[in-house]
Amino acid sequence: MAHDQLLESLLLALEIPAVWLLEPRNAQLCRVHPTNPVLKIEWEPFYASIREGQFLEPEALRTSCFSNHAHFLPKECGAEVASLGSRYLVFFSPAPLPRGHLRAVKDYFAAMEEHQTLRTSFEEHRLVNDTVLNLHRLFLGKFNIRELLLRVLEYVKDKLGYSNCAILLLDSERKALRILAAINYLDDVVRDIRIPLGKGITGWAVLHDEVVFVPDTHADPRYIPGAHDIRSELAIPLKAGTQVIGVLDVESGVPNFFKKADLRILEPLAAIVAIAVENARLYTELKETHADLADSFFQSVEALAEAVEAKDAFTHGHIQRSAYWGITLARLLNLDERRTENVRLASILHDVGKIGVPEAILLKPGKLTPEERIEIEKHVEIGAQILQRIRRLHEIVPIVMAHQERWDGVTEGPFHGYPRGLQGEDIPLEARIITVVDAFDAMVSDRPYRKRLGYDKAIQRLEEEKGRQFDPRVAGIFVNWLRENRKPRDPDK
């Protein structure tokens, strides 16, 4: 305001009725004094009419390219122009102005321009700093890529005043762009849109690996009109290494909306977004490969366990039940995910060593001789040796090794612990879980040499063996769980 008044006093003192400012870049003429709305004029005929240092007489002015705007022209005035950097000042007066007057006004505008540039650059600098700092904060601690990008776009849109912003990614065949995240960009219905590579502003930016600055979409043949009336657009390619993987696109309903400061914010942002997107893609790929590997690994493990089970028709369903009860107990004991998974694997594989025990002994209907008993007991160490060869199963080797040990450490008698005679908490907790569920399942299953016990009887046996064969805490928790879940899951039924 103060600047306007200053200019007004200056023009009054110099007896200059009016000054307009002409922007040849967009052919806009702005009457800076007295102020009024911006006029659009054609630059070429204008420049043919008035060249610098030449005064256009009042009559000539009214019949020149100004005739369309005659009602805006000051009465009985001619015109002359003076350049002001890339712009022109148009002075209106009845007669040519003294050179000194022109120079005074030009100096005034130059000073104002410098002031404005400094101010803008200071504000832009502050905006860039603030934005980059806040975006950096946004990136910290965010793992869901889509959610992260939406937050980033929302922030950018609010802070910088864009109408729409979107991040589009090139599909795996590198033929079309798809929207990964968008704010106000397109309606949900057309969000599935595919933009062919090379088409539109975004497709062009990706194909040519170039930033596209569009001051006026109506004047750019690459622009494909969409649902919103977009007047200016800025598209910045996203790059992972040397490859373009997508584009960051911002739009505005106002022509000439984007400035150099936007690029100074959006270029580094595009670089960060590209890294985040690429990392997320690699992470997903890695997770899928890992899941595939894990699936095929568990399938092999189960196949192995089933091969053992097939040797002994009487233990059918044993591994599934043991695994179910094992996981249940591990969760009740608050074991973490990894240890729970180890309990599951050990439940399935604890008797895998039986593959090395002769069937005649395994399936013998009568009582075992001491020698046969020794043969059967070897299944623990044979199992450990088999599993030792598989890296992922190293952690369950000590569990398998200890699943036949007793809490009280007794190593004599028909139900002694083996092979090392470990006791109490020297036995891994995972193994103490397997011991309880393995024994319980044995009790409720038919064996070649005896009939199964009923559930109540088997629960009672667990109670009696607390602190003897079984860890009292583990057995106690299992008994409570069995009582609360009267019908334990039986995969056979």
In what helix (H) or strand (E) does residue 202 lie, and over which residues does it extend? helix 200-208
- Smallest gap from Cβ 350 to Fe ion, in A, equals 5
Measured from the CB of residue 421, what is the shortest distance to Fe ion in angstroms?
16
- Nearer to Fe ion by Cβ, of 77 and 429: the residue is 429
**Footprint on this chain of Fe ion (rule: CB under 5 A):** 351
Radius of gyration of the chain (CA): 42
Strand partners, 89: 21, 82
* Contact predicate 272/139, CB 8 Å: yes
Q: How far apart are CA 274 and CA 181, in angstroms?
A: 13
Q: What angle do CA 492, 443, 335 make, to 5 degrees?
A: 80
Residue 239 burial (CB count, 10 A): 17
Cβ proximity to Fe ion, 236 vs 380, nearer residue: 380
Closer to Fe ion at the Cβ: 351 or 405? 351
Would you say 87 or 373 has its CB closer to Fe ion?
A: 373
Structure tokens at 355: 């593959």
Closest distance to Fe ion from the beta carbon of 465 (Å): 16
CB 308, min distance to Fe ion, A: 11
Min dist CB 338 to Fe ion, Å, is 23
What's 219's DSSP letter? G
**107, exposed or middle or buried, with CB in 10 Å at 0-12, 13-18, 19+?**
exposed
Q: In this structure, what are the phi and psi dihedrals at residue 376, rounded to the nearest 5 degrees?
A: -60, -45
Of 142 and 311, CB closest to Fe ion: 311
Helical spans, DSSP H, in 64-144 = 99-139
* Cα–Cα distance measured from residue 25 to residue 32, given in angstroms and rounded to the nearest whole number: 18
Angle formed at CA 372 by CA 370 and CA 375, multiple of 5 degrees: 115
**Cβ 394 to Fe ion shortest distance, Å:** 19
Task: State which residue, 262 or 351, has the beta carbon closest to Fe ion.
Answer: 351
User: Hey, is 133 helix, strand or coil?
Assistant: helix
Q: How far apart are the first and last CA of the chain?
A: 88
Beta bridge partners of 182: 166
For the CB of residue 451, give the shortest distance to Fe ion in the complex, in Å: 20
Nearer to Fe ion, 160 or 402 (CB): 402
β-strand 212-214 against 232-240: which pairing, if any? antiparallel
How far is CA 271 from its chain centroid?
15
Q: How far is the CB of 348 from Fe ion (least distance, A)?
A: 12
Instruction: Return the residue nearest Fe ion (CB atom).
Output: 351
- Whether residue 251 contacts residue 165, with contact meaning beta carbons closer than 8 Å, is answered with yes
Choose between 109 and 418: whose C-beta lies nearer to Fe ion.
418
Cα dihedral 466→444→448→491 (10° resolution): -130
Q: How far is the CB of 300 from Fe ion (least distance, A)?
A: 21
Query: Which C-beta is closer to Fe ion: that of 154 or that of 381?
Result: 381
Rounded least distance, CB 380 to Fe ion, Å? 6
Q: How far is the CB of 483 from Fe ion (least distance, A)?
A: 26
Indicate the residue among 78 and 417 with the shorter CB distance to Fe ion: 417
The smaller minimum CB distance to Fe ion, of residues 131 and 469, is found at 469
- As a whole number of angstroms, the distance between CA 442 and CA 239 comes to 61
Residue 402 φ/ψ, nearest 5 degrees:
-105, 5
